[in-house]
C-alpha cells in the first residue's frame, strides 16, 4: 500500500452555502458539505471513495445512500466505527453528493444497510487492515501483536500510533474487490453494532438547529413557485401578467405548458402564483373514477411476467376439490410527505448545481443533464434531508422545476411546492388489481394456487420529471413504478403454483414506488386469500401457514409470534359474532421479496357494527432482519411501517374526476391521527452472525392483510377492497 | 409598499421589513429571521408543522397574518425553548424517547405539547392523543411522541 498526499482540490465558488442562523447559532456539518474537497475518487472499487481520515483521526464517511428520516446517518456510521474501532463521535457523515459520494444506487428498497452499509463496512475493514500493516512497519512490531482502540493502534509492548498519524489527510489508494471481500470483524467482538446508539440527528431536529432542504439558502437566491395546469394534459393558452402587477419584483417564466413565477421574497412568489391569471385548455384524460377497476382490467397488457410456475396449475385447478376465487384491489395512494418538496438550482458558467432531497442524486444528475442537454459532469446534485418521503415523491420534480426557473432568470432559484402541488403532482402508488384462484382437496390441502396481478409496466429507475413533460424538454426516462412484481410469488410450498403479472401499458396517474412498492399490495392479496383458504379448510390460520412453510427461520418467527400475541388456536371466523362491538384477530406473514427479512404480524381489531368503523387497538410484530445494527432504529421503523400502513388500509385513497386528482389537501386525503393509532408490541430476532437486511419496508407488506383477516375473524365479512372505509363495511354488515 | 414592523421573538425585539402586512407569520420567522423551527407543511392550518407560541398559546403561524401580532406579544419558536446543550424538558423527553423519524412534524408536536402541558400538567395518554389530534405525522412516530410527552410530564 502507498499512502499518497491527496490531490483533491478545494471547490471554489459555485456551491458555497450561507450558514445563517439568526437566533441560536450552531454550526451544522451538513451545510458545510460544499466546503469539502472535490476531485476525490468515486468508484465503488476504491476505499478512498467511501472513507477518509484526517490528521486528528476524524473519519469522514462518504455515503451514496442517504438518510430519508430512517436513521441510517447513525446506523451506517455505527457500522464503520465498529469496523475501524473508533468512537461513533469520530465519524462525519457525508451523503448523496454526486461530486463527493459514490453511486451506491437509489436510497430505496430497504437496502441502505443491506447494500450501502455492507459496502461501507468492506471499505472500513480494508482500510483497517492496511492501517495495521502500516502500523506494524512504523512501530517495528509484529502485526499480530497489534490491537486498535479509539483509533489508536497499540502493540503488546505498549508502542502506539494513531490512524491520524499514519494516514492523516492522505489517500488510501486501496482497491475493493466485491468478488474477494475482506474478512470483517467477528460479530462476537462487536461493541457498537447491535446496540441502540442514540440518533445523531435528533438533538438538532427537536431544537430547530437541523437544516432540512427546506431551510437551505444560497447567496443571491430568489424564490420560485410553479403554477400547474388544472387538469393533466391541459395546454397553456394565455397568461395575463397584468394580474400580478401590484406585486413587486416578479418574473413570469413560461416554457410551453410549464408556468412559474420568480420573486425576491417567498411570500411575493406565493402571492404571484395564487393571483396570476392563466387560461388552460380543457383536458379529461383520467378514467371514470366509478369504473376505475374496469379501466385497469381492460388496459392493454404490454407484457406478462411469470414470477413463479411450479407443477401444473391448469390441471390441478380442474382436479377434485373445492374451488375458490377472489378479486382484490388496492387504491391509488400518496406518499404524503408532511413537508412538500423543495429544491434549489443554480446555473453558473453553464454548469448546474442542484440541491434537493432526492433519494437518487446520481440518477437525478443524469436526468437534469439530459433535460438541458449538457454533459453529466457539468451537473452536481447535492442531497439535503427533507421530510420523510417513503419512496419517490416530488423531491426530484421540484429539482427539475428549480432548474427550469434558474435557467430562465439566470440566478439561483428555490422552489417550494405547495400542499396542493404535492398532493396533486407527486407520482403515486398505482391502482392494483389482483385475481386469485385455488383448489382445496377434501383433506384441506391446497392443491393449486393461481394468481394474476394487473400492474403498470416499467422497471425500477427514474420517473420522468414534471418539468420535462410540461416544458417539453428532452427525456428518455419511462414511467417506472419500482420493482412491483416482487412478492407476487408466495413464500409457501404448494405443489402447483402460477403467479403472473400483467404489466399494463398505462395507468391513470404518473406511477411511483411507495414504501414496499408492489410488495404491500401483492402481499395483501396473497395473505388475505391464504386466510380465505384456511377458513374454507376450517384450520387455524397460523397453523395453516406453518403447514406450507419449509423455512426454519420463518417457522421460528411464527412460533414466536404465536407466543407474543398469545394466539388462541382456532379457525376463523369467531363463533360468537353478536354484540355491537365485534372483536377479532388476524395474522399475516412474509419473507420480503422471498429472499430477505422475515416478518409476521397479528392485528387485533374492533368493528363498530352501527358505523362500520374499524379500530386497530393493537399490533404484534416479530421481525427477523438478520444482523441488527441498531435495535431501537429497527423498532422505530417498524412503528412507522405499522402506523403508516394502518392509515393506508383504513383511510387513504386518491379521489379524482376526469381532469385531475381532487385529493389536494389533508381534508380530502386524510391520514391516521393520534386517537386512532394502535399499540405496537415488537419482538426483534437478532442474528449477529447473519447478513444484515433491511427494516424500512418489510413490515408494511403484511399490515393490510393482518387487518383484513382480523375483520373477517370478527365479522365473518371478507373485505377485498382497500381502503376499508366505514361505508364499505357498514354496507356488508347490513346485507348479512 | 414596504413596511416596517416590530416583533418580540424568542425574547428579542426585532424589526422586519415586508411588502405585505398580511404576510403569514411563518414567512417572517423563516425568511426574514432565518429560523428553522417553524416549518411549512400545508399553509392551511391542517398539519401543525408551523406551530409557534404567541403569549404561550400554540398558534399555526402559516395562517396568522403578521398584522395580527403586536410587539407586546411574545412569539416563541422551537429555538426559543432550548438548545441541544440545554434542551427544554419536552425537547429532552423527545431525545430520550428517540421520538423522531424524519422530524419534519416534530416542531409542531413539541410546541403543541409545551402549550398543552402548561394547562394540564399530568395528562393521561388519551388526553395527550386528543391534544395532538390535529397534528399530523406521516412517519408513524405517534407512539413515541405520546411516550415523550408523558415522560416530560413526569419531570415536574
B90 and B152 Cβ atoms separated by less than 8 Å: yes
Q: Is the pLDDT of residue A264 over 90?
A: yes
Say yes or no: A599 and A535 in one domain: yes
- DSSP 3-state assignment of A620? strand
Chosen domain end from B20, B46, B80 = B80
Query: How do residues A655-706 score in pLDDT, each as one tens digit?
Result: 999 999 999 999 999 999 999 999 999 999 999 999 999 999 999 999 999 9
Query: How do residues A211-230 score in pLDDT, each as one tens digit?
Result: 999 999 999 999 999 999 99
Give the whole-angstrom CA distance, residue A683 versus residue A679.
Answer: 13
How many angstroms separate the first and last alpha carbons of chain B? 49
DSSP A5-65: E---EE--STT------SSS----GGGGGGGSEES----TTBHHHHEEE-TT--EEEEESS
How many angstroms separate the first and last alpha carbons of chain A? 77
Chain B residue numbers touching A30 (CB-CB < 8 A)? none
CA nearest to A202, candidates A629, A678, A636, A696: A636
Give the whole-angstrom CA distance, residue B74 versus residue B55.
Answer: 5
Chain B residue numbers touching A641 (CB-CB < 8 A)? 140
User: What pLDDT is stored for residue A481 in this prediction?
Assistant: 82
Nearest to B104 among A207, A212, A390 (CB): A212
The set of residues, in sequence order, having a beta carbon less than 8 Å from that of A448 and lying 6+ positions away, is: A311, A313, A316, A317, A319, A437, A438, A439, A494, A495, A496, A497
Say yes or no: B96 and B136 in one domain: yes
Nearest to A674 among B41, B77, B129 (CB): B129
Question: What is the enclosing helix (H) or strand (E) of A293?
Answer: helix A292-298
B136 to chain A, closest Cα gap in Å: 6
Query: How do residues A336-368 score in pLDDT, each as one tens digit?
Result: 999 999 999 999 999 999 999 999 999 999 999
A9 pLDDT band (50/70/90 cuts)? very low
User: What pLDDT is stored for residue B156 in this prediction?
Assistant: 67
Q: Is the pLDDT of residue A22 over 90?
A: no
Say yes or no: A708 and A580 in one domain: yes
Question: What is the enclosing helix (H) or strand (E) of A279?
Answer: strand A277-280
Give me A433's grid cell: 388489481
Chain B residue numbers touching A247 (CB-CB < 8 A)? 19
HSE-up of A580 (CA within 13 Å, CB side)?
2
Residue A325 domain-assigned? no
Q: Is the pLDDT of residue A25 over 50?
A: no
**Could you identify the residue written with the cell 426559543?**
B80
A92 and A357 Cβ atoms separated by less than 8 Å: no
Say yes or no: A12 and A61 in one domain: yes
State the CATH number of the domain containing residue B74.
3.10.20.30
Say yes or no: B104 and B148 in one domain: yes
State the CATH number of the domain containing residue A540.
3.30.365.10
Q: Is the pLDDT of residue A19 over 70?
A: no
Give the whole-angstrom CA distance, residue A736 versus residue A195.
Answer: 52
A152 pLDDT band (50/70/90 cuts)? very high
A23 pLDDT band (50/70/90 cuts)? very low
A407 and A508 Cβ atoms separated by less than 8 Å: no
Give the whole-angstrom CA distance, residue A196 versus residue A189.
Answer: 16
Q: For the whole model, what pTM was predicted?
A: 0.95
Residue A457 domain-assigned? no
B109 to chain A, closest Cα gap in Å: 10
Say yes or no: A401 and A355 in one domain: yes
Give the torsion sign (CA, A132, A133, A135, A139).
positive
Chosen domain end from B80, B96, B115 = B80
Label each residue of A334-391 as H, E or C: CCCCCCCCEEEEEEECCEEEEEECCCCHHHHHHHHHHHHCCCHHHEEEEECCCCCCCE
Distances (CA, A) of A32 to A10, A35, A82, A96, A304: 13, 5, 25, 14, 49
- Preceding peptide of A472 cis, ω within 30°: no
Nearest to B37 among A68, A208, A388 (CB): A208
Chosen domain end from A153, A180, A205 = A205
Give the whole-angstrom CA distance, residue A281 versus residue B110.
Answer: 46
Chosen domain end from A397, A425, A453 = A425
Q: Is A266 left (phi over 0), alpha (psi -120 to 50) or beta?
A: alpha
Give me A592's grid cell: 420480503
Q: What residues form DSSP beta bridges with A10?
A: A37
User: What pLDDT is stored for residue A177 in this prediction?
Assistant: 87
Question: What is the enclosing helix (H) or strand (E) of A401?
Answer: helix A395-409
- Preceding peptide of A723 cis, ω within 30°: yes
Say yes or no: A197 and A227 in one domain: no
Number of folded domains in chain B?
Answer: 2
Chosen domain end from A394, A425, A456 = A425
Mean pLDDT (chain A) is 94
Distances (CA, A) of B74 to B10, B14, B113: 7, 11, 18
Chosen domain end from B48, B80, B112 = B80
A385 pLDDT band (50/70/90 cuts)? very high
- Residues A207-231 as b/e (b if ≥16 CB within 10 A, e otherwise) read bbbbbbbbbbbbeebbbbbbbbbeb
Of A25-29, A516-520, A563-567, least confident by mean pLDDT is: A25-29
A700 and A645 Cβ atoms separated by less than 8 Å: yes
B93 and B149 Cβ atoms separated by less than 8 Å: yes
Label each residue of A544-595 as H, E or C: HHHHCCCCHHHHHHHHHHHHHCCCCCCCCCCCCCCCCEEEEEEEEEEEHHHC
Residue A341 sits at the vertex; the CA angle it makes with A340 and A344, to the nearest 5 degrees, is 135
Give the whole-angstrom CA distance, residue A226 versus residue A261.
Answer: 6
Distances (CA, A) of B81 to A104, A193, A222, B78, B100: 39, 34, 31, 5, 17
Residue A243, burial from CB neighbour count under 10 angstroms (0-12, 13-18, 19+): middle
Q: Is the pLDDT of residue B72 over 70?
A: yes
Give the whole-angstrom CA distance, residue A549 versus residue A487.
Answer: 15
Residue B137 sits at the vertex; the CA angle it makes with B136 and B141, to the nearest 5 degrees, is 140
Strands A322-330 and A432-440: antiparallel
- DSSP 3-state assignment of A123? helix
Say yes or no: A393 and A415 in one domain: yes
B71 φ, ψ to 5°? -75, -10
| Subunit contact A677:B143, Cβ cutoff 8 A | yes
Q: Is A358 left (phi over 0), alpha (psi -120 to 50) or beta?
A: beta
Residue A321 domain-assigned? no
A65 to chain B, closest Cα gap in Å: 15
| Subunit contact A247:B107, Cβ cutoff 8 A | no
Say yes or no: B91 and B44 in one domain: no
Percentage of chain B surpassing pLDDT 90? 98
Give me B9's grid cell: 421573538
Say yes or no: B23 and B55 in one domain: yes
Say yes or no: A169 and A245 in one domain: no
Residue A384 domain-assigned? yes
| Subunit contact A338:B81, Cβ cutoff 8 A | no
Say yes or no: A173 and A269 in one domain: no
B1 pLDDT band (50/70/90 cuts)? confident
Q: Is the pLDDT of residue A13 over 80?
A: no
Say yes or no: A419 and A520 in one domain: no
Nearest to B133 among A21, A24, A674 (CB): A674
The H-assigned helical ranges of A612-697 are 631-650
Percentage of chain A surpassing pLDDT 90? 91
Number of folded domains in chain A?
Answer: 3
Say yes or no: B18 and B60 in one domain: yes
Residue A488 domain-assigned? no
| Subunit contact B136:A338, Cβ cutoff 8 A | yes
Chain A residue numbers touching B46 (CB-CB < 8 A)? 419, 665-667
User: What pLDDT is stored for residue A461 in this prediction?
Assistant: 66
Q: Is the pLDDT of residue A1 over 80?
A: no
What does the pLDDT average to over B123-143?
98
Nearest to B42 among A666, A671, A679 (CB): A666
Give me A210's grid cell: 437541523
Residue A145 domain-assigned? yes
User: Number of A:B CB contacts under 8 A?
Assistant: 207
Say yes or no: A200 and A240 in one domain: no
Residue A92 domain-assigned? yes
Say yes or no: A183 and A270 in one domain: no
What does the pLDDT average to over B64-84?
98
Q: Is the pLDDT of residue A30 over 60?
A: no
The set of residues, in sequence order, having a beta carbon less than 8 Å from that of A225 and lying 6+ positions away, is: A260, A261, A269, A270, A272, A273, A415, A416, A418
A550 and A495 Cβ atoms separated by less than 8 Å: no
A111 φ, ψ to 5°? -115, 5
Query: Which of B103, B131, B148 is most worth mutating to test chain A (most A CB atoms within 10 A of its CB)?
Result: B103
Give the whole-angstrom CA distance, residue A704 versus residue A516.
Answer: 12
Query: How do residues A505-559 score in pLDDT, each as one tens digit?
Result: 999 999 999 999 999 999 999 999 999 999 999 999 999 999 999 999 999 999 9
A343 and A402 Cβ atoms separated by less than 8 Å: yes
Say yes or no: A657 and A687 in one domain: yes
Say yes or no: B42 and B92 in one domain: no
Range of the domain at B117: 82-153
Query: How do residues A31-43 score in pLDDT, each as one tens digit?
Result: 444 446 678 999 9
Question: What is the enclosing helix (H) or strand (E) of A238?
Answer: strand A236-240
CA nearest to A419, candidates B26, B42, B63: B42
| Subunit contact B84:A207, Cβ cutoff 8 A | yes
Radius of gyration of chain B, Cα coordinates, nearest whole angstrom: 15
Q: Is the pLDDT of residue A471 over 70?
A: yes
Say yes or no: B89 and B126 in one domain: yes
State the CATH number of the domain containing residue B115.
1.10.150.120
Range of the domain at A565: 511-734
Say yes or no: B86 and B140 in one domain: yes
Strands (E), A596-733: 598-608, 614-624, 679-684, 721-722
Q: Is the pLDDT of residue A442 over 70?
A: yes
Query: How do residues A91-106 score in pLDDT, each as one tens digit?
Result: 999 999 999 999 999 9
| Subunit contact A640:B44, Cβ cutoff 8 A | no
A711 φ, ψ to 5°? -65, -40
Say yes or no: B86 and B45 in one domain: no
User: What pLDDT is stored for residue A702 in this prediction?
Assistant: 98
Considering only alpha carbons, which residue of chain A is nearest residue B127?
A: A675
DSSP A494-546: -SSEEEEEEEES--SS-B--BSSTTHHHHHHHHHHHHHHHHHHHT--HHHHHH
B13 to chain A, closest Cα gap in Å: 12
Residue A228 domain-assigned? yes
Say yes or no: B70 and B12 in one domain: yes
Strands A170-171 and A4-5: antiparallel
Q: Is the ipTM of this complex over 0.95?
A: yes
The set of residues, in sequence order, having a beta carbon less than 8 Å from that of A106 and lying 6+ positions away, is: A359, A360, A363, A460
Amino acid at each position: 500500500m502507498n499512502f499518497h498526499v491527496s490531490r483533491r482540490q478545494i471547490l471554489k465558488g459555485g456551491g458555497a452555502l450561507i450558514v445563517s442562523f439568526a437566533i441560536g447559532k450552531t454550526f451544522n456539518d451538513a451545510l458545510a458539505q460544499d466546503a469539502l474537497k472535490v476531485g476525490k475518487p468515486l468508484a465503488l472499487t476504491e476505499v478512498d471513495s467511501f472513507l477518509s481520515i484526517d490528521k486528528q483521526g476524524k473519519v469522514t464517511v462518504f455515503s451514496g445512500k442517504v438518510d430519508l428520516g430512517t436513521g441510517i446517518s447513525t446506523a451506517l456510521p455505527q457500522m464503520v466505527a465498529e469496523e475501524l474501532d473508533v468512537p461513533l463521535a469520530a465519524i462525519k457523515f457525508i451523503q448523496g453528493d454526486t461530486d463527493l459520494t459514490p453511486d451506491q444506487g437509489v436510497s430505496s428498497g430497504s437496502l441502505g444497510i443491506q447494500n450501502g452499509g455492507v459496502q461501507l463496512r468492506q471499505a472500513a475493514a480494508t482500510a483497517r487492515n492496511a492501517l495495521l500493516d502500516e502500523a506494524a512497519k512504523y512501530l517495528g512490531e509484529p502485526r499480530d501483536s497489534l490491537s486498535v482502540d479509539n483509533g489508536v493502534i497499540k502493540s503488546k509492548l505498549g508502542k502506539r500510533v494513531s490512524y491520524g498519524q499514519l494516514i492523516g489527510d492522505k489517500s488510501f489508494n486501496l482497491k475493493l474487490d466485491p468478488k474477494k471481500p475482506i474478512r470483517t470483524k467477528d460479530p462476537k467482538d462487536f461493541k457498537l453494532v447491535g446496540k441502540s446508539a442514540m440518533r445523531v440527528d435528533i438533538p438538532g431536529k427537536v431544537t430547530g438547529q437541523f437544516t432540512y432542504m427546506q431551510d437551505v439558502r444560497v447567496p443571491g437566491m430568489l424564490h420560485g413557485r410553479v403554477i400547474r395546469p388544472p387538469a393533466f394534459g391541459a395546454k397553456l393558452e394565455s397568461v395575463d401578467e397584468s394580474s400580478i402587477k401590484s406585486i413587486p419584483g416578479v418574473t413570469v417564466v413560461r416554457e410551453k405548458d410549464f408556468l412559474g413565477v420568480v420573486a425576491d421574497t417567498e411570500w411575493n412568489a406565493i402571492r404571484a402564483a395564487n393571483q396570476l391569471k392563466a387560461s388552460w385548455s380543457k383536458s379529461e384524460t383520467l378514467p371514470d373514477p366509478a369504473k376505475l377497476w374496469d379501466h385497469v382490467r381492460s388496459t392493454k397488457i404490454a407484457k406478462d411476467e411469470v414470477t413463479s410456475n411450479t407443477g401444473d396449475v391448469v390441471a390441478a385447478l380442474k382436479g377434485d376439490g373445492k374451488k375458490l376465487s377472489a378479486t382484490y384491489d388496492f387504491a391509488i395512494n400518496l406518499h404524503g410527505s408532511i413537508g412538500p418538496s423543495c429544491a434549489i438550482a443554480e446555473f453558473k458558467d453553464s454548469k448546474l448545481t442542484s440541491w434537493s432531497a432526492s433519494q437518487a442524486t446520481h440518477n437525478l444528475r443524469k436526468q437534469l443533464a439530459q433535460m438541458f442537454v449538457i454533459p453529466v459532469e457539468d451537473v452536481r446534485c447535492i442531497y439535503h434531508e427533507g421530510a420523510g418521503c417513503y419512496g419517490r415523491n416530488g423531491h426530484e420534480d421540484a429539482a427539475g422545476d428549480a432548474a427550469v426557473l434558474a435557467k430562465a432568470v439566470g440566478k439561483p432559484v428555490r422552489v417550494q411546492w405547495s400542499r396542493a402541488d404535492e398532493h396533486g403532482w407527486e407520482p403515486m402508488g398505482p391502482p392494483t388489481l389482483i385475481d386469485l384462484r385455488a383448489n382445496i382437496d377434501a383433506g384441506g390441502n391446497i392443491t393449486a394456487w393461481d394468481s394474476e396481478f394487473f400492474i403498470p409496466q416499467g422497471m425500477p429507475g427514474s420517473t420522468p420529471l414534471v418539468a420535462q413533460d410540461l416544458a417539453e424538454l428532452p427525456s428518455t426516462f419511462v414511467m417506472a413504478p419500482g420493482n412491483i412484481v416482487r412478492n407476487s410469488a408466495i413464500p409457501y410450498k404448494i405443489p402447483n403454483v402460477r403467479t403472473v403479472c400483467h404489466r399494463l401499458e398505462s395507468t391513470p396517474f404518473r406511477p411511483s414506488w411507495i414504501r414496499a412498492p408492489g410488495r404491500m399490495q401483492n402481499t395483501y392479496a396473497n395473505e388475505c386469500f391464504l386466510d380465505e383458504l384456511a377458513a374454507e379448510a376450517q384450520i387455524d390460520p397460523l397453523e395453516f401457514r406453518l403447514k406450507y412453510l419449509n423455512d426454519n427461520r420463518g417457522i421460528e418467527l411464527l412460533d414466536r409470534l404465536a407466543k407474543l400475541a398469545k394466539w388462541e388456536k382456532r379457525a376463523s371466523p369467531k363463533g360468537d359474532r353478536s354484540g355491537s362491538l365485534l372483536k377479532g384477530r388476524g395474522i399475516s406473514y412474509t419473507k420480503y421479496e422471498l429472499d430477505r427479512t422475515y416478518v409476521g404480524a397479528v392485528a387485533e381489531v374492533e368493528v363498530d357494527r352501527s358505523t362500520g368503523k374499524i379500530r386497530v387497538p393493537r399490533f404484534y410484530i416479530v421481525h427477523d432482519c438478520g444482523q441488527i445494527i441498531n435495535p431501537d432504529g429497527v423498532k422505530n421503523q417498524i412503528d412507522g411501517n405499522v402506523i403508516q400502513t394502518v392509515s393506508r388500509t383504513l383511510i387513504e385513497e386518491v379521489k379524482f374526476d376526469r381532469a385531475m386528482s381532487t385529493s389536494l389537501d389533508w381534508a380530502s386525503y386524510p391520514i391516521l391521527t393520534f386517537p386512532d393509532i394502535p399499540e405496537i408490541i415488537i419482538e426483534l430476532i437478532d442474528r449477529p452472525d447473519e447478513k444484515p437486511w433491511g427494516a424500512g419496508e418489510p413490515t408494511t407488506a403484511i399490515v393490510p392483510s393482518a387487518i383484513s383477516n382480523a375483520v373477517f375473524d370478527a365479522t365473518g365479512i371478507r373485505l377485498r377492497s382497500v381502503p376499508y372505509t366505514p361505508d364499505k363495511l357498514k354496507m356488508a354488515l347490513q346485507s348479512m | 409598499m414596504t413596511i416596517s414592523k416590530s416583533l418580540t421573538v424568542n425574547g428579542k425585539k426585532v424589526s422586519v421589513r415586508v411588502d405585505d402586512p398580511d404576510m403569514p407569520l411563518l414567512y417572517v420567522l423563516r425568511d426574514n429571521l432565518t429560523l428553522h423551527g417553524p416549518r411549512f407543511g400545508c399553509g392551511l392550518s391542517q398539519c401543525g408543522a408551523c406551530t409557534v407560541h404567541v403569549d404561550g398559546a400554540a398558534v399555526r403561524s402559516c395562517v396568522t397574518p403578521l398584522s395580527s401580532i403586536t410587539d407586546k406579544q411574545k412569539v416563541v419558536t422551537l429555538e426559543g425553548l432550548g438548545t441541544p446543550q440545554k434542551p427544554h424538558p419536552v425537547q429532552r423527553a423527545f431525545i430520550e424517547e428517540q421520538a423522531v423519524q424524519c422530524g419534519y412534524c416534530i416542531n409542531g408536536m413539541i410546541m403543541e405539547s409545551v402549550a398543552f402541558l402548561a394547562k394540564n400538567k399530568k395528562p393521561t395518554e388519551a388526553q395527550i392523543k386528543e391534544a395532538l389530534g390535529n397534528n399530523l405525522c406521516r412517519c408513524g412516530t405517534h407512539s413515541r411522541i405520546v411516550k415523550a410527552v408523558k415522560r416530560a410530564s413526569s419531570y415536574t
